[in-house]
Amino acid sequence: MASAGKAGDHIWHFFRAGGFDQVRLDGAADIAALDQLDQKLWVALSCPTRGLEFDSRTLDLVDADGDGRIRAPEILAAARWACANLRNPDDMLKGADALPLAAINDATDEGRRILASARRTLATLGKPSASLGPGPDAAAISVADAAGADDPAVERLARYCRDLYQLLNNFVAFADFYSRRRKAVFQAGTLYLDGRSCELCVRVDDPAKHAALASHSKTYLAYCDCTRKGAAEKATIAAAFTAGDSDRLMVGRNGVFYDRKGQDWDATIVRLVEHPISIRQAVWAPYKRIARTIGEQIEKFAAERDKAVADKAAGSLGQAPLPAEPGKPPAPAAPAPAPTAPAPFDIAKFAGIFAAIGLALGAIGTALAAIVAGFLRLAWWQMPLLLLGIFALISGPSVIIAWLKLRQRNLGPLLDACGWAVNARVKINIPFGRTLTAVAKLPPNAQRSLTDPYAQRSPARWLIPLLILLALAGCAAYWYFGHYRPWKARQGAQPEAPQEPPPR
């Protein structure tokens, strides 16, 4: 295990991303000194060898004990071995698919053995096996050819030279994930659904088990079953929605998932883990809840009235005689109920109803008049502040809760549920989240026509005039009840001097 005391022997460089410091691996010197870096500064300490967008054969070679997991000691061992058997370990930064024979370090017994095996393999394949220097004609063995070498430590070196640096940038640091130059090894592809593209998608074996831990990431997750037509292969992914809103996300919705190979899959949402997605969604959430509640109450009232009408019609039909079957006398009609005398008109009850209605309307009018009058008494610059304060009072709690939860979004539980051992609090803040989920927008310089022949009439066409009429009615009521005095009269009014009593 790396010791914190050795960290001073090598000068490390760190970059800030995801709310924490991550080490920069700029060259072979950093790779060779990994055993001096305190493992508390590593982003991950272990990861599975399957379920990643990475060459599984390379992962199997790094997994020295064959337990299906890559751990920090195995990473260190792979880095030491690769640096020892390459003339210039900086070749690992190139990620080339072929290993030049001139790059093999023949100063050691193991290096000479690897070089000899590589030459024999190329000779067997009828390819040049002599190194002519660093130019384009220099002999090199590809990763595919190295797999057939009589010495395995050849395939291992070829794969380490190509893949190890990428693995380090997805294990010791998450440089690939935060730099956005290429996808991280745990990103399975891109999900297109609901006018958005989600790039943070991970492969999942058991959605229920995964969601139990991944919910602590404070991230809105959509679990999707993915299938391909004509193929028996199936996959399940968890896609993180980090921009937009969740109004139209529901179980059963369909989308398209593109894996890292470019293959398209039919994706269907089977499970949701709900968390705030954006501040914009939180701003309008209270008003949407109010509108939804009003709509539900209207639907409930309409359903009750419809049921009452249907029950009354069914009762009327139940009193009618049933039609007679052929050859049988008609069934006798149900006896009609005895006529009852109509109830006498109750003028007191009738007057009470109208009085109650009048009192209700009067109370509403008085309250509206008081609100309008109070608003009109404000200075012009106070009116927008009042409206802004009302808006903040309604939306403020929802926005504060969403802001706090969005600051807590953490990639760690999402990867831990996939078998990783994430060693840092890998944050997904609001700006970074917008880069992981792209919302549909028109391309630059696009021409847009706003004429829609099938557009529905906007409620504002009648709502705005209604509000104006209500405001005018409130002003009239305020004036009618004697609460209004002209502004000039209020300014010019002087208190009357007390009159002295006449002399006796």
For residue 30, give the 3-state DSSP assignment.
helix
The residue with greater pLDDT, 451 or 155, is: 155
Question: 81 or 312: whose pLDDT is higher?
Answer: 81
Q: Which residues contact 211 (CB under 8 A, 6 or more apart)?
A: 221, 223, 238, 271, 273, 417
At residue 6, does pLDDT exceed 60?
A: no
Pairwise CA distance, residues 76 & 45, whole Å:
11
Decide: 478 and 367 in contact? Cβ < 8 Å. Answer: no
Q: Minimal CA–CA distance to 399: which of 281, 293, 311?
A: 281
Contact 273, 215 (CB under 8 A): yes
10 Å CB burial of residue 435 (0-12, 13-18, 19+) is: middle
Of 270, 275, 237, 241, nearest to 253 by C-alpha is: 270
> CB atoms < 10 A from the CB of 128, how many?
14
Span of 41-45, 283-287, 373-377, 437-441 with lowest mean pLDDT: 373-377
Lowest mean pLDDT among 51-60, 73-82, 194-203, 463-472: 463-472
Question: Is 70 exceeded by the pLDDT of residue 495?
Answer: no
Distance (Å) of CA 435 to CA 45, 191, 197, 246, 326? 26, 14, 10, 17, 77
Q: Which residues contact 162 (CB under 8 A, 6 or more apart)?
A: 58, 95, 96, 97, 99, 143
Terminal Cα-to-Cα distance of the chain (whole angstroms): 114
In the predicted structure, residue 256 carries a pLDDT above the cut 50: yes
Q: Give me the mean pLDDT over the 150-169 stretch.
A: 92
- Mean pLDDT, residues 204-230: 94
* Residue 24 tokens, joined: 């920069």
- In the chain, pLDDT over 90 holds for what percent of residues? 49
pLDDT digits (tens, 9 = 90+) for 85-120: 999 999 999 999 999 999 999 999 999 999 999 999
List the structure tokens of 220: 């809105």
Is 274 in contact with 218 (CB distance < 8 Å)?
no
CB half-sphere exposure, 78, CA atoms < 13 A: 28
Distances (CA, A) of 113 to 103, 119, 141: 14, 10, 15
The mean of the pLDDT values for the chain is 83
Confidence of residue 401 (pLDDT cuts 50, 70, 90): confident
Assigned token pair, 70: 């890559």
Question: What is this structure's pTM?
Answer: 0.75
Using alpha carbons, list the distances in angstroms from residue 122 to 125, 139, 140, 213, 263: 5, 9, 9, 50, 34
> Which residue would you say has higher pLDDT here, 232 or 186?
186
Best-predicted range by mean pLDDT among 67-81, 360-374, 388-402? 67-81
